[in-house]
Chains A and B, each alone.
Chain A
Amino acid sequence: MLIKGYEVVVGLEVHAELNTKTKIYCGCRNSFGLEVNTQVCPICLGMPGTLPTLNEKVVEYAIKMGHALNCKINRICKQDRKNYFYPDLPKSYQISQADIPLCENGYLDVIMEDGVKRVGVERIHIEEDAGKLLHSDKFDGSLVDFNRCGVPLIEIVSKPDMRGSAEAKAYLETVRSILKYIDISDCKMQEGSIRCDVNVSVHKPGEPFGTRCEMKNVNSFSAAVRGIDYEANRQIEVLEAGGTVTQETRRWDDQKGISVSMRSKEDAQDYRYFPEPDLLTIVVPEEKVKMLKETLPELPNAKIMRYSKSYGLSRYDASMIVDVVEKSAFFESAIEAGCKAPKLLANWVLGEISKFMNEGTAITDTKLTPEKMAELVNLISDGKISTAAGKTVFDIIVNEDRDIAEIIEEKGLAQVSDESALEAIADEVLAANEKSVSDYLSGKTNALGYLVGQCMKASKGKANPGAMKEIILRKIGG
């Protein structure tokens, strides 16, 4: 997609907090939202004389992501110190990885409306998170919460392969979805467990890439879209006015919807990376690398393709289900439990089930089971009960652990498909609506719907509408 004749080039750096039980270099709990400065110890507080020891789970989690993004795994790699001063960084250096990341040279296929876009993944490395600055009206100055210090992170760096904000958004969503399926991150944007830095440049097709700007403080996917669009337009305006884009780091202000310059390339910080002498070289046995690949679950893209291929779901519906792990798991369990109408099942998952999930109720908080859902969908699909009756049953089985057949019996919800009963109803309705019959015969086809409707009404909704329609047509000879 071009904007005013320019192509927009985007590269993304995604930071994801891993959901390991403990932090990366000490035994403190890794959890969000606990009381300030309670999940800390001398090690993550960087007290003099303390030393880090690597949590091996972090390496495993990162390798899983590496496999999911088709990366080469550097099973021998090292950790490095990134040196800079900031009050939320107690050692004044962050342990990260510089020249040899754990994973590199991968790619991710992103499903777009008009096909599949392949985005290159330059590297994935492990590092520790910093703390958080807090401000209070009661205190003149800044306070620091060190709970987040040492929370394990992976940084996923893409190649500048995306063209515009739509591809960037799809990439981010796919990355998030994978993180959730391989269960290595909680992916809670509002808790900052996934954050990104955005690199944007613009150029005319056929010309070399333009100068890029890096944007920090992008805290949601929608902010990424707004930021990329804003930044692309800003750069185009500069170029159109005859100026040049300067390489710099900018800060995205989502409230104002603008990016502002933070520092130029000349002022770029020199992090003075060097190998972390307190930690040994990481050596992951080949067997383990292989095992981690083998235990990878089916990834979201593969699921979407399978849902559309095997179950006839539209790509959109498939991706809507796959987007939420719980929905997808429920969908698959219901099929496994014998549901014969996957498309109809998908409608229920994306309709009624999504409705209560959007209100914050998990499926497991209800009495609904995949087995019952399968039974209900099959009954509707077989014409045993109407969709309306199905909704009545659904509302009951969400709240109560009851037998579906019993509910249908009790409420008298079974559809009438018995020929003679339906014929009696038809005769009655046709006799009472001679005008509509003649309307239909003179070509007003709408009248048929009216007649079927009247029959349904007379049957108190229990008639099978398809069968009813056939009988009416036969009787009036249309």
Chain B
Amino acid sequence: MKLYEYSAHELSEMLREKKISSVELTKDILSRIDEVDGRVNAYLNVDPESSLKMAENADKLISSGEAVSRLAGIPIGIKDNISTKGVPTTCASKMLENYVPVFNATVVDKLSQAGGVILGKLNMDEFAMGSSTETSYFKTTKNPFDLSCVPGGSSGGSAAAVSCGEAVIALGSDTGGSIRQPASLCGVVGLKPTYGRVSRYGLVAFASSLDQIGSFGRNAKDVALLQDEISGHDPMDATCADRKYNSLYDNLSSDISGLRIGIPKEYFGKGIKPEVAESVMNAVNGLEKLGAKIVPISLPSTDYALSAYYIIACAEASSNLARFDGVKYGYRAKDCDGLVDMYERTRSEGFGREVKRRIMLGTFVLSSGYFDAYYKKAKLLQKRIQQEFTDAFKSVYAIITPTSPSEAFKIGDRISDPLAMYAADICTVTVNIAGLPGLSVPCGYSDSGLPYGMQIIGRKFDEQTILNIGYAHELDMGGYKRPVL
């Protein structure tokens, strides 16, 4: 077995037992990137020199016994909307093609302090707006299970890289499903934590009240390992919860006997491919056999969630992306005729179609005369959806749904049909709207070998329970399968 094929928790032990060095491991991953990324297109930027330096450093920490973190020496990929000091952070946009941050995101600082080895920056949909990576200005990432299919998005680079061994684990961000949906489509495990569990400082904002940084791995244990490192209060982010967390990794348990799990009927009907629903129910049956109590529930407002989500997310995006105006950093249109012309042309030329569509939508719903009819109503709906989840969680510990209504679709199939693309988020957006943790784990494969994903939604800050369910499921029915490239 090649080193890139091992899990993070296995590698962590091998590193501590000095069976391997981080430099050795990092070199192996870098060569894997060389081998396959020309076909997969997961990375926007790889810096072997700096990765190897970090690996050397990690080796020193490990051999001196100073490395206390399980993450020390593990190569990690980072989504390109997470700020890295001195390393371009483009958000896959022409607007930020040449932007090099002067500061690290809090999560990047945390990973560096833990001795993690940062491999490079991963492709995504432009400003995290999309479900396929096709809106990336630079390139489209391919699904490692079928190179003619999308990897999902927006964290498609992260999901694909972890899936095919171009990273052991990776960071992504999730505003409406951007971790869980690509995890599902690439057959890996992805966790969108509770809103406020991870600092957003340094995450280039799409929709501030919904964005959350989270973890990709090939199994529940690896996700728990990475999530432990990035959770925690940050005085730089007022929305980051001031709480202490127990280790998800140390407390991971496959014992789910007696655990009540809700199955909401609204997530298994209209718009969901029957094969997907079937594979999820098959996994649910497996959980029942392991002792879980399966309870049918109802979340009646689900039908409205997608509309509410796109109104709130676009409203915030229209304001968050206003700073890209050509004045301070990033792209500026050439030969402009005055200030207004500079603004208009910079933003017309610097943003892609999907980003502009959402900025316009968001600008519209916040406009005077429309605010009450759209934004305010969407916020009311958000309250209702939150309440329905709160009520449901009075009788169950977790809720299971499909992650994505279908397996990976073909590149080019939906890019010119925004509504079809938005429908890819139908199962995931409610979790962001309610601020809950959501996990996607692989739960079977289509006839053509494309992965299906199961979403496990938990109570606020109860990432442990959903990881335990995912862990029990993968031990029982098998989880990640390596794609053949």
Contact = CB atoms under 8 A, between A and B. Distances in A.
Interface of A: 42, 45-54, 81, 83, 85, 87, 90-93, 144, 270, 272-274, 277-280
Given A47-B103, A52-B238, A90-B328, A85 B200 contact: no
A91 B202 CA distance: 15
A154 to B, nearest CB: 21
Contacts of A52: 238
Given A53-B236, A83-B322, A48 B83 contact: yes
A77 B476 CA distance: 51
B43 interface: no
A247 to B, nearest CB: 16
Contacts of A91: 322-323
A42 B102 contact: yes
A83 B207 CA distance: 15
Contacts of A278: 205, 208, 238-239
Interface of A is mostly: loop
Given A91-B322, A92-B322, A272-B368, A51 B237 contact: yes
Contacts of A144: 327
Interface-centre pick from A92, A279, A280 (highest chain B CB count, 10 A): A92
B366 interface: yes
Nearest to B316: A277
A378 B328 CA distance: 65
Interface of B: 81-83, 89, 91, 96, 99, 101-103, 105, 200-205, 207-209, 235-239, 315-316, 318-319, 322-325, 327-329, 339, 343, 363, 366-368, 371, 375
Contact of B96 (A48, A81, A87, A272): A48
Contacts of B91: 48
Given A42-B103, A49-B205, A277-B208, A93 B322 contact: yes
A92 B323 contact: yes
B325 A85 contact: yes
Given A42-B103, A144-B327, A274-B366, A51 B236 contact: yes
Contacts of B89: 48-49
Q: Which 6 A-B pairs have the closest CB atoms?
A: A92-B322, A272-B366, A277-B209, A277-B208, A48-B204, A49-B202
Contacts of A48: 83, 89, 91, 96, 99, 101, 204-205, 323-324, 329
Contact of A90 (B102, B208, B323): B323
Contacts of B236: 51, 53
A53 B237 CA distance: 7
A320 B324 CA distance: 51
Contact of A85 (B343, B367, B371): B343
Nearest to A87: B327
Contacts of B203: 49
A81 B238 CA distance: 16
Contacts of A45: 328
Contact of A87 (B204, B208, B239, B339): B339
Contacts of A85: 322, 325, 343
A262 to B, nearest CB: 15
A81 B237 CA distance: 17
16 contacts: A48-B83, A48-B204, A48-B205, A48-B329, A49-B81, A49-B204, A50-B201, A85-B322, A85-B325, A91-B322, A93-B322, A144-B327, A277-B209, A278-B205, A278-B238, A278-B239
B144 to A, nearest CB: 29
A46 B102 CA distance: 12
Nearest to B330: A48
A52 B240 CA distance: 12
Contacts of B239: 51, 277-280
Contacts of B366: 83, 272-274
Nearest to B89: A48
Contacts of B315: 274
